[in-house]
Structure 1
Amino acid sequence: MKRGILLLVIAALSILAACGGAGDSADDEKSKGTVTFGLNNWAENIAVSNMWKVILEEKGYDIELKSMEKAPVWAGISQGDLDVAAEVWLPATDKPLYEEYKDDLKLHKTWYEGTGLGLVVPSYMDINNIEELNQKQDELGLEQIVGIDPGASLMEMSRTALDEYGLNYDLVDSSGPAMMSELKKAYEKEEPIIVTLWNPHWAFAEYDLKYLEDPKKVYGEADDIYYMTRTDFGDDHPEIVEWMNNWKMDDDSLGSLMATIKEADDAESGAKQWVEENQKLVSEWTE
């Protein structure tokens, strides 16, 4: 009798295990495929890429984020090694890259309007114009401008600015986070510092900063931000293209996303928190 009961228990457990396996298989089949985003180390790029990771994974996609400098992102999209890049600044900042790769990628709609970039200083510094940098160099006690990733378009523009204005400063290659670390240290001590910076960026909410006027327009006029994909991505994933074409952000929404991520343990958890708190806006894009 006991042997018979034992056999029944074993059989029941086997059936449950089989059902569990079948369930796992069904879950696997629910995946809508893997989508790979290319991103560089700019605060808003990290923010929106992680935001879309959260949104799309909730919709059944597997999302991979690959971080690299800007030029390899463009090359990866054009070669089909990457699927999506959330940030293209046009008509000025990314024009050289766009001209090089435009025939081998798909540029989609604008999601943010009216960017800015250039040389930035704390507002407590007594300087307002790039042309004053040499004149006030001894007073400032500075010999360098703290830059970001060497391959960034902003750095290329800054190298041009050094030449156009004949600046007696070294432009130091760095990264977005390293540049922000230097800015934070100087700002807390009210020391002079010059950095390459852009908006949208959470730094303008955190610190009282100002752009140095650029009378020669080396940094160009304001850009808008688009997103791009590999050429046939829309055929493979039309609903993602539809959702991302509905995507619009402004200083308030993007600023709150970046601020939430800045305060979180990591970018993805911050993005998840922001998505949960902004379901109405996200639903406008995806429904």
Structure 2
Amino acid sequence: MKSLGFGLVLSALAGPMTAAELGAVDEPIKLAINEWTGQHVTTHIAGEMLKAAGYQVEYVTAGMMNQFQAIGDGDVHATLEIWSSNVSDEYAKQVEAGGVVEIGDLGLDAKEGIAYPAHVAEICPGLPAWEALMDCAPQFATADTIPLGRLVDYPADWGTPGADRMIGLALPFKAVPAGSEGALITELRAATEKKSPLLITFWQPHWAMSAYDVKFVDLPVGNEDCFTDPAWGPNPDAVNDCDFAPSRIFKAAWSGTEEKWPAAFEILSNYQLSVEDQQPMMGAIDVDGGSVETVVAEWMAANQDSWRPVVDAALN
């Protein structure tokens, strides 16, 4: 891909800004980089918007589950793609302590669940109904899980939502955490190429949903009682015997961000990104081999109507 610079973006800003409106432009705003490609895209777009406004930006590698202490301490200043279904207890603690503040929804229409490549329905007749997995579990067994089937769950530091469903629904599967998002993709690619059985915890938006024709298992539709009351749902002895709660994707910042960088706080609070924009960029990186920086630069150059009004509104 051809790399596009941002000189014209910076020169196109409307009107001079004072240091008071921008805040501490001599100090970098540090944005958290978590473990998945979509989050990298989300964060780099936000970072380039801040740069276009005149700020310095640093990207700081931070685990999704353990980033909130650093944000609460002011060592990292914002994180831009928090999934409500996968957020750590530390987040609530830091919000309660006053070091972290929520800054609005990102705008992605998301779904998480137990999934499989479409060809697996031939191996396990009855899918997508979850009950089919009761009888088909041996088809998914490996040397490490026999006699149980194998579920490839999220990386360990993303939580254990897949394992929770196997226990909640009393399905005869052992959840094995993937090492990374890349490892999940490797599993999908290998299963698709070999037409082998695979059950996996996965999510959308993600380019792999279409690339590998990924389908979600139909789990029982739940409500809050599913996660707190064992008597609710098909398994009277366990919680989590239902589908994933609808995922809300939102943003958070260090509580001192608004005072230190007022315009930046407004930009990050109003920043939105759609599935239609994010998902192709993920494919351009993970499938086509483009760098995050190049792919984001090309998108921003081609889509100024999508992001520039947010920057301009904060500076005027």
Normalising by the smaller structure, the TM-score range is 0.7 to 0.9
| Counterpart secondary structure, 1:135 | helix
Residue 82, structure 1, aligned to residue 76, structure 2: yes
In the TM superposition, what is the alpha-carbon distance from 1:55 to its structure 2 partner?
2.7
The Cα RMSD (Å) is: 2.2
AA aligned opposite 2:276: D
User: Residues of 1 paired with 2:264 and 2:298: CA distance?
Assistant: 21
User: Residues of 2 paired with 1:261 and 1:58: CA distance?
Assistant: 23
| Counterpart secondary structure, 1:53 | helix
User: Residues of 1 paired with 2:140 and 2:152: CA distance?
Assistant: 14
Tell me if structure 1 keeps the 8 A contact 2:113–2:217. Answer: yes
Match of 2:163 in 1: 159
Tell me if structure 2 keeps the 8 A contact 1:147–1:175. Answer: no
Residue 58, structure 1, aligned to residue 41, structure 2: no
Match of 1:38 in 2: 32
Task: Report how many aligned residue pairs link the two structures.
Answer: 255
Match of 2:296 in 1: 271
In the TM superposition, what is the alpha-carbon distance from 1:227 to its structure 2 partner?
0.6
User: Residues of 2 paired with 1:63 and 1:187: CA distance?
Assistant: 40
User: Residues of 2 paired with 1:37 and 1:62: CA distance?
Assistant: 11
In the TM superposition, what is the alpha-carbon distance from 1:259 to its structure 2 partner?
2.8
* Per-residue Cα deviation, 1:133-191 (whole angstroms, up to 9, x for no partner): 23112344553222232021xx3222211211223322222211111112112112222
Structure index of larger Rg: 1
Q: Any stretches of 5+ residues in structure 2 without a counterpart?
A: 1-23, 122-126, 143-148, 223-239
Tell me if structure 2 keeps the 8 A contact 1:260–1:273. Answer: no
In the TM superposition, what is the alpha-carbon distance from 1:73 to its structure 2 partner?
1.1
Tell me if structure 2 keeps the 8 A contact 1:113–1:223. Answer: no
In the TM superposition, what is the alpha-carbon distance from 1:32 to its structure 2 partner?
4.1
Change (3 A) 1:120 1:73: same
Match of 1:10 in 2: none
Change (3 A) 1:100 1:129: farther
User: Residues of 2 paired with 1:272 and 1:32: CA distance?
Assistant: 23
AA aligned opposite 1:210: K
Residue 213, structure 1, aligned to residue 206, structure 2: no
Tell me if structure 1 keeps the 8 A contact 2:110–2:203. Answer: yes
| Counterpart secondary structure, 1:283 | helix
Tell me if structure 1 keeps the 8 A contact 2:32–2:76. Answer: yes
Tell me if structure 2 keeps the 8 A contact 1:47–1:261. Answer: no
TM-score after normalising by structure 1: 0.80
Tell me if structure 1 keeps the 8 A contact 2:79–2:252. Answer: yes
User: Residues of 2 paired with 1:93 and 1:112: CA distance?
Assistant: 17
* Per-residue Cα deviation, 1:70-94 (whole angstroms, up to 9, x for no partner): 121122112222101011223x442
AA aligned opposite 2:218: E
Moved more, 140-149 or 273-282: 140-149
User: Residues of 2 paired with 1:56 and 1:141: CA distance?
Assistant: 49
In the TM superposition, what is the alpha-carbon distance from 1:233 to its structure 2 partner?
0.6
Tell me if structure 2 keeps the 8 A contact 1:40–1:67. Answer: yes
User: Residues of 2 paired with 1:224 and 1:147: CA distance?
Assistant: 20
Query: Percent sequence identity over matched residues?
Result: 18
TM-score after normalising by structure 2: 0.73
AA aligned opposite 1:243: I
In the TM superposition, what is the alpha-carbon distance from 1:272 to its structure 2 partner?
1.3
Aligned pairs (5 A) from 1:1-287: 32-90=26-84, 92-94=85-87, 96-103=89-96, 104-126=99-121, 127-141=127-141, 143-152=149-158, 155-173=159-177, 174-215=179-220, 217=222, 218=240, 219-262=243-286, 263-287=288-312
In the TM superposition, what is the alpha-carbon distance from 1:67 to its structure 2 partner?
2.2
Moved more, 227-236 or 38-47: 38-47
User: Residues of 1 paired with 2:132 and 2:70: CA distance?
Assistant: 41
Match of 2:10 in 1: none
Tell me if structure 1 keeps the 8 A contact 2:163–2:174. Answer: no
Tell me if structure 2 keeps the 8 A contact 1:149–1:176. Answer: yes
Tell me if structure 2 keeps the 8 A contact 1:54–1:268. Answer: no
| Counterpart secondary structure, 2:218 | coil
Moved more, 156-165 or 30-39: 30-39
